[in-house]
Amino acid sequence: MKYDLKNNKYFRWGLTAFLTIAASICFYYLLFHGNSIKAGFHTITGILMPVLYGLVTAYLLTPVLNYIETKLLFPLCRKLKVKENKKRNSIVRGIGILITAFLFIALIYSLVAMMLSQIVPSIVNIASNFDTYISNFTKWISKIMDDNPELGSQITFLIDKYSVELENWLNDTVLTKTSQVIMTVSLSVINILKGLWDFIIGFVISIYVLASKEKFAGQAKKMAYAFFEQKSANRLIKSFRFTHNTFIGFIGGKIVDSFIIGCLCFIGTTLLQTPYAALVSVIVGVTNIIPFFGPYLGAIPSAILILVVDPMHPLNCVYFVLFILVLQQFDGNFLGPKILGNSTGLTGFWVIFAITVFGGLFGILGMIVGVPIFAVIYAAIKAVVNTFLRKKDLPVETVKYSYLKNIDEEGFHQLDSRLQRDHEIKDQVDFEQNKKDQEEKNVGEK
CB 77 within 8 A of CB 92: yes
Nearest-5° Cα angle at 389, 413 to 239: 145
Using pLDDT thresholds of 50, 70 and 90, give the confidence band for residue 43: confident
Tell me what the mean pLDDT of segment 64-72 comes to: 89
Tell me what the mean pLDDT of segment 52-77 comes to: 89
Whether residue 102 has pLDDT greater than 90:
yes
Q: Which residue ranges make up each domain of the chain?
A: 399-434
Tell me what the mean pLDDT of segment 134-162 comes to: 65
Tell me what the mean pLDDT of segment 116-144 comes to: 67
Look over the chain and give the mean of its residue pLDDT values, rounded to a whole number: 76
Which pLDDT tens digit goes with each residue over 389-442?
A: 888 888 877 777 776 777 765 565 555 555 555 555 555 555 566 666 666 655
Tell me what the mean pLDDT of segment 64-78 comes to: 89
Whether residue 186 has pLDDT greater than 60:
no
Q: How far apart are CA 446 and CA 440, in angstroms?
A: 10
Residue in 280, 275, 279, 283 with CA at minimum distance from that of residue 313 = 275
Lowest average pLDDT, out of 76-90, 350-364, 426-440, goes to: 426-440
Cα of first residue to Cα of last residue in the chain, in angstroms, is 70
Q: How far apart are CA 255 and CA 248, in angstroms?
A: 10
Whether residue 188 has pLDDT greater than 70:
no
Whether residue 99 has pLDDT greater than 90:
yes
pLDDT of residue 11: 67
Which of 107-111, 221-225, 415-419, 441-445: highest mean pLDDT?
Answer: 221-225
pLDDT of residue 1: 45
Whether residue 234 has pLDDT greater than 80:
yes
Nearest-5° Cα angle at 193, 192 to 199: 85
Tell me what the mean pLDDT of segment 107-131 comes to: 70
